[in-house]
Structure 1
Amino acid sequence: MNTTYALRRQEIVGALVAPRVRDVVDRWPALLIESQVFAEFHRINNVNLRNQFYKELDRHTPKLITLFRDKSTRTGKIAEELAKLMRIYDLQEQRDVNMRRALVLRALPVYLHGPDLTDTPVALLTVVTDDTTDAALFSPESICIVVEDEILVSGPTNLADSFLLPLWYPENLNLTFTFIQKIVMCLEDNKPLKGHLLTLKNDLFNE
């Protein structure tokens, strides 16, 4: 994969029409392997994807949870959905670091976009048993990554790990993944943040 990186970049980035995800993974099946996803990210950005993501996510988590809690006390659909997530989280007897990460990653799209994310061409499908309680929101049996109505990756039980693996993200999740890329991963594209993202960044760094 390292020796074919230049060819892969030319086929994907240099294409006049963006290739379908299915075509990319058919030609380069190693991109469905977790270790190769991380290696590809390092080849592109010279950054350890997992270490950087977890370090910065954990650093921002306490303030993000505070912001989500504050929003959940207000009125409207976003507040109601955030209040539901917080209520389920607070009922858990043991709230470890993975559960806190899962809470933030589930609440972030709601906070930025609102609770309606239907017709999304890429999704994280949570797999639970029939008798699973609401706690499955944070500790599912497994998670499948669905792209263009097809399961491409299955098996992770950690929501944060699953966030690292999608090959691309859809337009209606642009704010969430821009936040992760530019604020959590510290990857700069020289484009200024606007609207909800700028407000969230200011709130996050405002002591």
Structure 2
Amino acid sequence: MGNYRTKLSRAGIKDVAVNAGKRSSSNPEGAASRANIKRPRRGEVNFLPNYPRGENKDTLETQRLQMVEEFKKTLADRDMMLVHQHMQRTFALRREEIVNLAPPIAELQDRWPALFSEAQLYGEFHRITNQNLPFSFFAALDRNAPQLLKLYKQRKTGAFGEKMADLLMAYEEQDKNDINAARTAALAGLPLYLKEDSSEIFKSCKEEEFHAFQEGPVALVAVVDEEDVATGIPFQPLHVSVILEDQVVMSHRSWTDALVFLFGLIYALHLSYPEKLSGFFEFIQVVLLNLDDGRKQLKPKLQALRNELE
């Protein structure tokens, strides 16, 4: 296999070549062979593809610049068909830049503005994983929400249990015909059930306080008009913003839709899961979306929850 990978690398297959050229007798100053290895970790089907046939870096850069010009126009005047075609063609260039260089979010917003629009973000997720993100996510969430809520009602002891009780009390006050209420409750209770602290990631504030909350590497900040919000996740926010590296990158009226944006951006921008909510995001990845990363088994608490849902 080592010889086969060497041949693939010399042939220019980027998935392999990205980890080639490490320290050797001919390259003594190179990085150690196992340092910063870049590989699919979360069920990515297209991790680092080659350029399309007939394209090179210069032709793809021309298409990128055309998309930037389109996004300088008003929404009504943009040629979204052209943007979609160019996003498809420039996928390999974009992944090469994101995976190899890991540029700041502000720079990516300038270079790839289409990536932070809803339709193109979902398109990018499909290109990476071959999955329709919103359809798969909400179908699995709706299927598992009733059982999750039953499990939450059994978890009422300790510090996390008190917060769970507050969440369930807030849920009982919602319209039971509103599917979004059950979705929000199922997701809001998940970190509590897994005993993870979501306070630094999931936040809520008043409109006049929003600027002060617009900080941190990763956050979902919900603007509300109520005084107290259980677990920082409101059932009826005014709007919810996705924060990455102190930048507001996307927004939505629904908290659950904003979370889907955040999950899609983690894949599209090759970001790590927030450490304090790693179990929460791994549950979405492996249990809800069935994006297996090749590990033999989940963490014990996630495997136990998965067994309860089967």
Give the structure-1-normalised TM-score: 0.87
* Secondary structure of 2:222's aligned partner: strand
Deviations 1:159-191 (A, max 9, x none): 221111122242222111110011101111111
Residue number in structure 2 paired with 1:30? 114
More deviation in 78-87 or 196-205? 196-205
1:201 CA displacement: 1.0
Higher relative contact order (CA closer than 8 Å, sequence separation 6+):
1
State whether residues 77 and 115 of structure 1, in contact with CA within 8 Å, keep that contact through their aligned partners in structure 2. Answer: no
Letter in 2 for 1:55: A
Deviations 1:45-69 (A, max 9, x none): 1111111111111111111111111
In structure 2, what is the Cα distance between the partners aligned to 1:116 and 1:6?
A: 34
The within-5 A match list for 1:98-137 is 98-115=180-197, 117-118=199-200, 121-129=217-225, 137=234
Match of 1:14 among 86, 100, 105: 100
In structure 2, what is the Cα distance between the partners aligned to 1:115 and 1:7?
A: 37
The within-5 A match list for 1:49-198 is 49-72=133-156, 75-115=157-197, 117-118=199-200, 121-129=217-225, 137-154=234-251, 156-166=252-262, 167-168=265-266, 169-191=273-295, 192-198=297-303
Q: How many residues align?
A: 199
Residue number in structure 1 paired with 2:204? none
* Secondary structure of 1:140's aligned partner: coil
1:115 CA displacement: 4.0
In structure 2, what is the Cα distance between the partners aligned to 1:50 and 1:91?
A: 27
Deviations 1:6-65 (A, max 9, x none): 0111112234xx333333222211111011111001111111111111111111111111
In structure 2, what is the Cα distance between the partners aligned to 1:115 and 1:142?
A: 23
Give the structure-2-normalised TM-score: 0.60
List alignment gaps of at least 5 residues for structure 2: 1-86, 202-215, 267-272
- Structure with higher Rg: it is 2
More deviation in 134-143 or 80-89? 134-143
Residue number in structure 2 paired with 1:3? 89
Residue number in structure 1 paired with 2:127? 43
State whether residues 152 and 193 of structure 2, in contact with CA within 8 Å, keep that contact through their aligned partners in structure 1. Answer: yes
List alignment gaps of at least 5 residues for structure 1: none
* Consecutive aligned runs of 4 or more in structure 1 exceeding 4 Å deviation: 131-136
In structure 2, what is the Cα distance between the partners aligned to 1:27 and 1:86?
A: 43
More deviation in 104-113 or 138-147? 104-113
